Amino acid sequence: MIRKICCIGAGYVGTPTMAVIALKCPNIKITVVDSNRSRIDAWNSSNTNDFPVKEPGLDDIIKVVRNKNLFFSSDTEKHIDESEMIFLAVNTPTKKEGKGKGFAADLTNIDQCAKQIAIVSSSNKIIVEKSTLPVRTAERLKEIINKHKQDDVSFEIISNPEFLAEGTAIRDLFKSDRVLIGSDQTDEGLAAMESLVNIYKNWIPRERIIKTNIWSSELSKLASNAMLAQRISSINSLSALTEKTEAKINELSVAVGKDHRIGDKFLNVSPGFGGSCFKKDILNLVYICRQYGLEEVAEYWYQVVKINDYQRKRIFNIINSSLVELKNKRISILGWSFKKDTNDTRESSSIPISSDLIINGASLKIYDPLADKKQIIQDLTTYLESKNLDLKEIKSLLNQVKINNTLSECLSNSNAIIVLTEWDEFKQIDWQNFKLNIVDAVLPHIFDTRNILDIELLKSLEYKVFQIGNGDSNIK
């Protein structure tokens, strides 16, 4: 029976997962550790607004379990040594240099964790891979651990990938479609797997707990994300065709989704998928396929990323063409996080689209209910740096950006309004009243890249509107 758990990584995966385990397993003491002391301090704050991850329902759970059986600490070594089970929930970004640059997962954080665990552990441990990892990573971890561990200490490595969707992570943890656990098929490996099964079965029905070998588990996470992203790119690619043929992508999505073999999930048109996982995991999958000489398979999956980039560029080109001249145009950006109900901005389509707008001379006003202002500026800076612009040029471009505290502030006095995140708040805009308050009587062009606005109402109010994949748009 596991009594003490340590989770390395206090981010979007580690904290929600540990919070729910703490709630459902009050007899287990769980400590979440992180090398980022300010992040730990934020989780220990009495003000929930300071919490670094915004996720519906998470605050309420932390209020119940924090300092009872869930703790946050920066004393990593102490809690590694005291624990019986260690979850690895650290970031594994795409490599920026060296072999596999631009495709392979950077396992530096995972490698450092493995070495640290091996060195400081004075008792046997079960290590749980929670981060998204390339298939065969467990083999790599074993090599690192065996090199640095004490002779009388043994380790078992099991894979337990997360399948959480940001914005619904707590709901997903409470009612998971499945919990996947992979292990070595040895007596020791199977026993380690059962230790984790016994934790999850406190609230997950046994039939939803899937047990596999460790390699199947590692690869399943990459495969799941790749296939979800594929659906998004598929519907986005068709949106370009529906615009040309005067069909409607929303109607197409409903018609296709009614086929039970296909289903209606992930068929909502968008400016492209974002978040920390989809692009990273597909690129990793492409790299792995190439490593095994599967060039055709690699190219198939790479097309999913290419379509995503195409959709973003296509949207920018439509905006640019519609406004004729972007220089000195005032544009309202509605939404920065990659999806609603989260403050996560990683790989958000707002970043490249907004960056291209300011590079071409537009001035932006940005509003998002949850995204941190500093993070928005950092996102723009990082993207502009990737375009090989120097610091002076970047600073000049950032002077064209203002981040607003309210939606009404952001909407005022604009030549164009672009909806980039599907926040419910944006659906409630009173466009009739907004029209009456426009001083110069020139209505802004509206670009709805999430298809959440009532296009017929907007057209009746004489707005020029573009919706992705909607043949009825009066902006072509």
Catalytic residue among 6, 7, 113, 277: 277
d(CA 328, CA 322): 15
**Rounded CA separation 132/144 (Å):** 18
Amino acid at position 404, single letter: N
Residue 245: name the closest of 457, 464, 473 by CA: 473
Residue 90 Rama label (left phi>0; alpha psi -120 to 50; beta):
beta
Q: Taking a C-beta distance cutoff of 8 angstroms, is the pair 140, 88 a contact?
A: no
For residues 439 and 299, what is the distance between their CA atoms, to the nearest angstrom? 52
Is-catalytic flag, 410? no
* Gap between the Cα atoms of 475 and 321, Å rounded: 10
The residue type at 432: Q
Cβ atoms within 10 Å, residue 464: 16
**Cβ within 8 Å of residue 460, ≥6 positions away:** none
- In DSSP terms, which residues pair with 448 in a beta bridge? 419, 467
Strands 363-367 and 401-403: parallel
Torsion of CA 260, 264, 266, 271, to 10 degrees: 130
- The catalytic residues are 277
